[in-house]
Structure 1
Amino acid sequence: MRYMSVESVEPGQYLGKTVYSANGTVMLAAGVQLTVFMINTLNRIGVTMLYIQDPNFSDVETEEILSDKTKQAVMREMNDTFEAVRSGKEWSTKKLSMSVNQIMDDVLSNRAVLVQLTDIRTKDNSRYVHALNVCLISTLIGMNMGLNTTQMKDLAIGALMHDVGKGNMTTKEDPALDLKQHHTWRGYELLKSKHEFNLLIAHVALQHHERLDGKGLPRGLKSPDIHLFAKIVAVANQYDNLINPFDGSGLLPHEACEQLMALSDIGLDRDVLIQFTRIISVYPNGMAVRLSTKETGVIVRQHRGLPGRPVVRIARGDGDELQVSEIDLAEHTTVFIEAVLA
């Protein structure tokens, strides 16, 4: 498979990964042959990147931590929960807790796999994919930091629900508003009212926009007063927002990582960032790159612990004369990725 910009996709190519709607149903199934209408529709609903089947890279797969079954179930539950919040109805903490159990089971079964946030987003499903990604990253960081099972579950629920205060928002927040109206406060009040949840879960929603230097929202807390769970979710939330903002224009993973590292011990916790860099894939499988040798190729495999040094496959020539070779950047230490290609 190849991971490419939707603008570069051509009619007749085959979709490599399924596109889901906000409630977890299949919008376009993997393997479907794309038409002009389908490509235009994907563009219109906010899709920016797609996985496309490519015979030259048919063996290239994205290792997924979460199964499609888990993703569909969680997105469906998130859709129901946010719809209930939006309409002022009750929502089930039990169902939400069961969704988090599914996430944790998948994470514990695939703890050696690097996170590659390449699920196809639309304007409709982006909020729920974002919540799922923040939960996934936070859970892995928490596991690496030695949290026990109970702590990991509280962290995972807080991460999944960190933006629940936006449930009834239809417009962007006005910074001039009373901070008591900020989505972090609304999320805190909603989660605090659910007595089945640990109060720490509500504090994740309240504190995930705080900064270590005291310049965050809503209370301007400094590092000692910010809970570890909120520090973890802050990193996961900021990363996912950088690579997949709701307006559709985002940074590449390696660019986003550089921005996060620049905030170490200023806005974001250094120890959390260290664990983050150990679980994230900087260059996802299927992404086209140009090397410092001026050769172009596609990322085909990852090295855990060396996210910036993947294996790159290079194809030279055409048709029957095609020659394929692979460069393992973990071994070829003088070769670097110079640019990411669309």
Structure 2
Amino acid sequence: MRLIDIENVEPGQVLGRTIFSANGTILLSTGVHLTVFMISTLKRVGVTMIYIEDPMFKDIVVEEVLSESTKRAVIQQMSESFDALRSGKNFNTKAISMSVDSLLDDVLKNQNVLVQLSDIRTEDNAAYIHSLNVCMMATLVGVNMGLNMIQLKELALGALLHDIGKVGAPEVEEGRSHHAWRGFEMLKMKREYSLLISHVAFQHHEAIDGSGKPRGIKGDEIHLYAKITAIANIYDNLLSDLSEGRRLLPHEAIERLTAMSDTIVDREVLIEFLRIVSVYPNGISVKLSTRQTGVVVGQHRGLPGRPVIRVIDKAGDDAALASEIDLAQRTTVFIEGVLA
């Protein structure tokens, strides 16, 4: 399985990862042979990169923190909740809480798996995939920081609902019109939820140096849950934002986040965050300092920037020889770039 740019996908290639619709149902399943119409549709709905099956890399597995069933359940609940709010109704707090319980079970079971955000985003599902990713990453950081189960549940709920104030929000976000403030006002009314959950929505755009919104609080005035969620939120936004003409790749997003340390984001929390993410996800093509190119096929927890690379050397018109370079062992070899 390889991760490639949608512009390089050809009819007949086999989809390697399931693509979800906005309501959590399956839009395209793993194993489907892509047609010209499917590829055009994926481009139209905003997909930029997808996983495809490749016989030369058929053994590559993208380990997942969350099961497919958990993802579907969370996305479905987020879709139903946002639809209810748009209709002027209350969302089902119990259903959201139950889906978070499933997510917590998966996170605790797979807490040693490095995060590789492999779910394909479309214009319709982007908001729900974002909430799911932020929740999952924030919870993993919370586990690493030794939070207990009650704290993890509060953090997970706050992270999942951090953008709830965007539903029906005005275009101009200032003061009490800012979606963080609106989210706080909505969540603090939910008696089933701890007030700390509403403060995650309230504070996830605040900055350590006081330059954030909506209130400009700083440092220890910002709750730990919000500091954790803020980093997960920024990271996922960097991977999905097209404001710079393209989405950043994980290693670029991590460089951008690192530059925000102790100004926008908390340094100690950032250190814990960097321990849970894969800098170069499995299936991505890279160029090495040896002038060779290859595909990432394995990860090292604790050394996310030093993965295992499978290098392909042509041995004839129809043959190729594969060898693997473990960058954790080959300390003089470096990744110089990521290939689309």
**1:107-186 correspondence runs (5 A):** 107-169=107-169, 173-175=171-173, 177=174, 179-186=175-182
Partner residue of 1:206? 202
Identical counterparts, % of pairs: 60
Does residue 1:249 correspond to 2:246, yes or no? Answer: yes
2:234 is matched with: 238
Q: How far apart are 1:321 and its partner, in Å? A: 3.2
Q: Deviations over 1:145-179 (max 9, x none)?
A: 1100000000000000000001123x7x325x4x1
Residue identity matched to 1:93 = T
Report the Cα distance in structure 1 between the residues aligned to 2:239 and 2:20, rounded to whole angstroms. 19
Give 1:314's aligned amino acid: V
Displacement of 1:90: 1.4
Partner of 2:319: 321
CA positional deviation for 1:224? 1.5
What one-letter code is carried by the residue in structure 2 that aligns with 1:91?
A: F
Tell whether 2:12 aligns with 1:12. Answer: yes
Note the C-alpha offset of 1:87: 1.5
Contact 1:87-1:168 at 8 Å conserved across structures: no
Post-superposition CA distance 1:80-134 (Å, at most 9, x none):
0011111210111110000100110000000110000110000000000000000
Tell me the C-alpha RMSD between the 2 structures: 1.1
Q: What count of residue pairs does the alignment treat as equivalent?
A: 338
2-structure distance, mates of 1:13, 1:82: 35
Cα contact 1:123–1:246 (8 A) shared by 2 = no
SS of equivalent residue, structure 1 residue 279 = coil
The answer to whether 1:188 aligns with 2:190 is no
Contact 1:23 1:75 in 2 (8 A): yes
The farther-off stretch of 40-49 and 86-95 is: 86-95
Tell whether the 8 Å contact from 1:243 to 1:250 is kept in structure 2 after alignment.
Answer: yes
Please name the residue that 1:104 is paired with.
104
Gaps of 5+ in 1: none
**Letter of the 2:216 counterpart:** G
Deviations 1:255-314 (A, max 9, x none): 110111111111100111000110000100000000011100000000001000000001
* Shift in alpha-carbon separation, 1:102–1:81, aligned structure 2, 3 A: same
The 10-residue stretch of structure 1 (153-162 or 244-253) with the greater mean CA deviation from structure 2: 244-253
Q: What secondary structure does 1:186 align onto?
A: helix
Would you say the 8 A contact 1:290–1:337 is kept in 2?
A: yes
| Aligned residue type for 1:104 | L
Moved over 6 A (4+): none
Question: Aligned letter for 2:322?
Answer: V
Scaled by the length of structure 1, the TM-score of the pair is 0.97
Correspondence for 1:341: 339
Where does residue 308 of structure 2 map in the other structure?
311
What does residue 288 of structure 1 align with?
A: 285
CA distance in 1, matches of 2:158, 2:180: 12
The offset of 1:319, in angstroms, is: 5.9
